[in-house]
Each structure stands twice: as structure tokens, then as C-alpha cells.
Chains A and B, each alone.
Chain A
């Protein structure tokens, strides 16, 4: 069965620090990968996605993620975080074609202090 692991449950940073959130998935076939963000009290919004092609994908608000197939990883990065990045971050995977099912990781809570 497909699964997604996010090993960082809670990350605390100061503004301007660099961010990397880990995401590993288990699925041997073709995957589509996503990072969603949930700001306090709000719904999930898509940050970025990987379907194929360049394994380094850029998303909104200065976020990027790198798909490393050999490591089954899709880590999220941002060179300099802001207080407004405080949120819950979810990695998700869709395994194979002709499936609508997204499997989410348990989320990483990011707190950024001024």
C-alpha cells in the first residue's frame, strides 16, 4: 500500500532561516507528488506539484521541491522563511495512472518567529 512519511512533525525557525521539510513515499511505480499548505484556520492550498520532467519544481511564495526517485523523496525547501509561512505543510502522493486517490503525510507544523 502507498504511504507518505513526514519525519519533521514540528519545526521552529527564525525569520530568514532556511527551510527543508522531508517527505518520503512508498510506491514503486509512476507517482505524482504534491505539497499543500494549511494556514491557521484555513483550507489546504497547493504549493507545488510534480508530474514529470524536471525533478526540481518551483511553487508559489518562493517554495521549491526536489523529486529524487532513487530516494523516494520529495523534500520541500525555501531559502529564507517569513513569519507568514507559519502553517501546517502536507506532502501527498498519487500513485499510478487512473487513480484519483491522494495519500497524505501526517503533516509538519512550521512556526516562524520574527
Chain B
């Protein structure tokens, strides 16, 4: 069973369009994340939700809006797509706590977004 899944795997769209990426985890974790990996492979956190509550919101344009309907799902909606939004977007999840396993983040397969 896939632990963290994302759909779609590839997304090609034109500038100005609105698109969504979905993420689901079946690990029972309470915290989920969105990361952006640029063309140079640099990985930067965008958002994080804990039990459906937004806890990390990095300097990201307002065109990006995360939504967490429940703690197993975290979606990312992007309005008015721009060329610079082209990247691979990774979802991740983790479980808060005091054990050594805490905060270990499990990553999804990524969604490669190409804006033309």
C-alpha cells in the first residue's frame, strides 16, 4: 500500500490557469506538508497542517492555497499559474510526539507541474 500518494503525477498547463494537486496519506499521521522542488533540486517547505490546522505558512504567493479537509488529506490549489510555478511539488506527512520516530517525514512521489 502506498503510504503517501499524490495525484496527478504530471500536470502540464498554460499560464493563467487554475489547478489543484491532491495528497493523501494512510499512515495515520497528524501532520502534512507541501514542498516545492525547483529545477536545481532545491527543496523548500511551503505549508504544513496539523490536524487540519495551518501551522507553517512560508512566504508563498497568495495564489497558492492549501486545504486540509481531514488529517489524511492535504490539497494544494494554485490560481493564475505562472511560468515560475513549474517545479516538482512533494507532499509529506509525519506524526508529532516525543519518540525517535517523531517528525520523520514520509514523502509522496511528487507532482511535476509544467506551466507553458
A-side interface residues toward B, CB under 8 Å?
Answer: 32, 34, 36, 38, 42-46, 49, 51, 88, 90, 94, 100-104, 106-107, 109
Contacts and interface: CB of A to CB of B under 8 A. Distances in A.
B44 interface: yes
Given A43-B90, A46-B104, A88 B41 contact: yes
B96 interface: yes
Residue of B4, B92, B104, B106 most packed against chain A (CB within 10 A):
B104
B107 A106 contact: no
A43 B31 contact: no
Contacts, number: 51
Main secondary structure of the interface of A (DSSP, over half): strand
B104 A100 contact: no
A44 B89 CA distance: 12
Nearest to B106: A46
Given A88-B41, A107-B43, A100 B110 contact: no
Contacts of A90: 43
B55 interface: yes
A51 B100 contact: yes
Given A100-B31, A100-B55, A100-B94, A43 B108 contact: yes
B90 A44 contact: yes
B40 A43 contact: no
- Nearest 6 A/B pairs, CB to CB: A44-B107, A104-B43, A43-B107, A43-B109, A107-B41, A51-B100
